[in-house]
Structure 1
């Protein structure tokens, strides 16, 4: 008779415990233990419990391969979340850990493997090979691809979040918080009887201060005080909500007839536009992709969209300054070029049209498409093609937390035909999808790699570009960590090439997820360890750093509505005779402003159950070397955090969005 000490850990979130029957069987290379009832129903397996039991076997089991868990209804159906099982043989010198981190829903049986990460070539046992195959077959039935709309990345086959498997759903606390936070924000504004004033314009710019109450942040208030200033406009091109738009300009576009004389007064002494173009000090924002996008109609009133071109000058004093703006793409008498020397209201209105275009670009393209939707492709492919014991599954699992549910909620509540965007955003409805489809056609794997992105945009030397500096530091830390993990389990390039599960994963990403994008540029076959490290680093970077850069500051930059308006209610100006009355009639109305402030607070605020980058609540890796690499990664992130904090001493406004401690390990909002 062999007796094993078994430790079973129940999840810590609400409703993780169960009062159902739980049975456990140890599966070894020489046989199985007795099927053992572990608890008295209703007494053990409480939320957060770590319970110990004795499990016997009449004959030696040899090396333990798996633990079989079974749940059966006792009185009422009661799901159970198992964190892990640990097994210690009698007189044993070591404890085996079997990570689970899954829900047992209904009467079901589940077999979980010992935690040592193994690629397909590492498994020689027919029983373990059969388990790998069966796990993937079951997952591929559960997680299926679907096309939500043509011309954008494919996604999980789930009409609403309720169609998702329990394993990828929000915990109950997250679900409750998500539901109530937006209601709270809208309630705060409704208490001031503002949100109900549909169609009513603000009287003047100071009126927008009436929605600054409990919903506020230091950067949002700084923005409120400085949004009219040209240096602050330029600062936001580098470190605002859409820091990946600005590009070095070496030659003016033909449809942007700016002459040196027009901007001479904006230049430093003894220089001119032609000289500065050659010197590499001229930059451009060109929103041509928005040109012709269908405009939304909100409560029967047509909204307006423009596709501006904005020229900026890196001044010797260190500030990036806007020097010319054309509000629409086609030049002509009714589309003048606005200059800082124009009447103040005219220049302010032109800058506001650029900032309105920024709202559309960062929300729909930089945020939704290039982080949420791209990351969903990696999530679905990972769930379909990599078993839980695979080292790459273990690496990516923490970076997939909640992403499928938040994306489902986005499709049903935010960007749907009757979602929030349709109610308050100028590109809501058809325009949003057309814009995403245009960008998707040009989306490239290369552009998702930050070092290539900065080089291709010619912005590697721009001063005070904190987003570039910090994101490259974080990229290097992520890539170093990923390289360490990959080298633990792949000794050579040949090992990567021979991993059939890895090849199936990459094929699912490129052939299914990015099915309509044949020129995406992702390698069709991974031939080297370095190629694998880059792909994995891109996925993790998108789900952490890039998402934080576009999501976490949206309340800071959008709460003061005139700075980044969600919609425009009057057509673009055809002359420079702007007045305050025209500006107020163009900006979002009272109700739209309230919703913009509420939704950007709801989406940009720190999440109460956030898991910061580098922290792994679920210990999927049990190998000592892998755990050491995780600890080293955390140490590097701590050093980056200290560097960012030191760099921001005395800086106004501070750029703290990319602090690792404020950055989630996955896209959860």
Structure 2
């Protein structure tokens, strides 16, 4: 699918045109979605939370994470936990000054901060975080079942407290402050505050599915893959190695591409920039950094086998042609994104290849295989919203919250897709397990054995940690990471 302003993808009318060597048939384990398909004709709102619970029980009775989500989705502490360790841990960032379009004051937030402290002090200490979904601003929302759905572009301020909890303390539902865009607070009525959080979670669903998942793993992987096939010979060492509808999709992908930064795909840079590198309960950050470092050691070892100094990297015309193809044809020649246009050093090359491998394996595992766990209880992450965002406080009751959520059939349609996406393949190949002959002897084999041992150590430590956690974080355990995007 070509989108003007988005990452360029392969120009093919059918998978068959790729031929047998380049096409891949995923062996699915088979997911029983007949029960969900039975709701296809119900183009109506859910009649009650009890009815939603029946659907959940039928599909989630064996899913301990989903049951935890259902039990805790209204809690502020769990809302914050998901920003760090849910299926989209890529948006939350530490801030030291407020965005000018967020209409909050220190007085407004005083009751939600430690006694004797102020918003200014907490900003300076680094305990204030922000979710900003400005990329959704003014996008045309989808029409579902013949009815208009609605999008918001919320800003959500969060505070990391002395108990190690990240809690939301202010939510503004649209990008620009104004009299019809109130700032919701934890002290507001329970329905107001819960609805504001639901709007944030729905915005997160759009950004997660189309940018964090589709753009940042699938499309980035495709750009690098196509450039490899076009520019590198097979003997080259590198060759071995929803509310948003059809109208909104091209705009969102173009905006997402424009906002994509090289540093955001390089784990150590990304975690440091977003202030997540030292948070003790950000398990995504801890695990991502360890997997990145293991892959980086592996890649650097490969690079050293073939390039003995930086000059050899600079003079490899095929390699330079490869990165130029990715930059110009894939990333549209944008210079503000920070993606390299050439390689001057072996270190730059190692970092870039690590980014590609991590993006197509570990990052995809984190944002894809967690989806059913956090989305199965639909109110926690609605795929669309059926009523517009409130423009005043006190306008909704608890009974009315249901009318904002997606219809029965659209709820089930989203869940069917997520079930299909979240199933590991039958022919699943774990990270850094290789069947190709060139990994099986000599120096390459030693490098493979080293990285596999590194990954076993990481697996051991993650399993040990998870046994102590009320809600384990398994998604970046190397045993759960496929060797490629794969779906």
- TM-score band, normalised by the shorter chain? over 0.9
Q: Which protein shows a greater Rg?
A: 1
Structure number having the greater helix percentage: 2
In 2, the alpha carbon distance for the partners of 1:631 and 1:206 equals 52
Residue 455 of structure 2 corresponds to residue 627 of structure 1 = no
| Correspondence list, 1:145-164, <5 A | 148-164=2-18
* Partner residue, 1:138: none
Deviation at 1:463, TM superposition (A): 2.9
| Correspondence list, 1:94-493, <5 A | 148-171=2-25, 174=26, 177=28, 181=31, 184-185=32-33, 187-190=34-37, 193-198=38-43, 200-212=44-56, 213-214=58-59, 217-395=63-241, 425-493=242-310
Secondary structure of 2:437's counterpart equals coil
Asked if the contact 1:485–1:629 (Cα under 8 Å) also holds between the matched residues in 2, the reply is: yes
* Partner residue, 1:567: 384
Q: Give per-residue Cα distances to partners, 1:292-313, cap 9 Å, x unaligned.
A: 0111111221110001111101
Asked if the contact 2:439–2:448 (Cα under 8 Å) also holds between the matched residues in 1, the reply is: no
RCO comparison, higher one (Cα < 8 Å, 6+) = 2
Secondary structure of 2:439's counterpart equals coil
Q: When the two structures are aligned, how many residues end up with a matched partner? A: 484
Asked if the contact 2:143–2:149 (Cα under 8 Å) also holds between the matched residues in 1, the reply is: yes
In 1, the alpha carbon distance for the partners of 2:99 and 2:9 equals 37
* Partner residue, 1:542: 359
* Partner residue, 1:604: 422
In 2, the alpha carbon distance for the partners of 1:652 and 1:588 equals 30
Structure number having the greater strand percentage: 1
Residue 475 of structure 2 corresponds to residue 657 of structure 1 = yes
Unaligned 5+ runs, structure 2:
none
Secondary structure of 1:453's counterpart equals helix
Asked if the contact 1:559–1:601 (Cα under 8 Å) also holds between the matched residues in 2, the reply is: no
Secondary structure of 1:274's counterpart equals helix
Q: Give per-residue Cα distances to partners, 1:157-198, cap 9 Å, x unaligned.
A: 212323322112224xx26x38x64xx32x1223xx433211
Deviation at 1:264, TM superposition (A): 2.2
Deviation at 1:214, TM superposition (A): 4.0
In 2, the alpha carbon distance for the partners of 1:595 and 1:525 equals 44
Deviation at 1:325, TM superposition (A): 0.7
With the length of structure 2 as denominator, give the TM-score of the two structures: 0.96
In 1, the alpha carbon distance for the partners of 2:342 and 2:100 equals 41
With the length of structure 1 as denominator, give the TM-score of the two structures: 0.70
Could you say what the CA RMSD is over the residues aligned between the two structures, in angstroms?
1.6
In 2, the alpha carbon distance for the partners of 1:355 and 1:568 equals 11
Deviation at 1:455, TM superposition (A): 1.9
Secondary structure of 1:283's counterpart equals strand
In 2, the alpha carbon distance for the partners of 1:263 and 1:524 equals 45
Q: Select which of 546, 551, 573 maps to 2:368.
A: 551
Secondary structure of 1:321's counterpart equals strand
Unaligned 5+ runs, structure 1:
1-146, 396-424
Secondary structure of 2:438's counterpart equals coil
Deviation at 1:622, TM superposition (A): 4.4
Q: Give per-residue Cα distances to partners, 1:232-258, cap 9 Å, x unaligned.
A: 000000011110111112122222121
In 2, the alpha carbon distance for the partners of 1:432 and 1:235 equals 28
In 2, the alpha carbon distance for the partners of 1:501 and 1:254 equals 47
* Partner residue, 2:334: 517
Asked if the contact 1:151–1:516 (Cα under 8 Å) also holds between the matched residues in 2, the reply is: no
Secondary structure of 2:344's counterpart equals coil
Q: Select which of 620, 634, 641 maps to 2:459.
A: 641
Secondary structure of 1:452's counterpart equals helix
Q: Give per-residue Cα distances to partners, 1:319-356, cap 9 Å, x unaligned.
A: 00101111112223322111111111111000000000
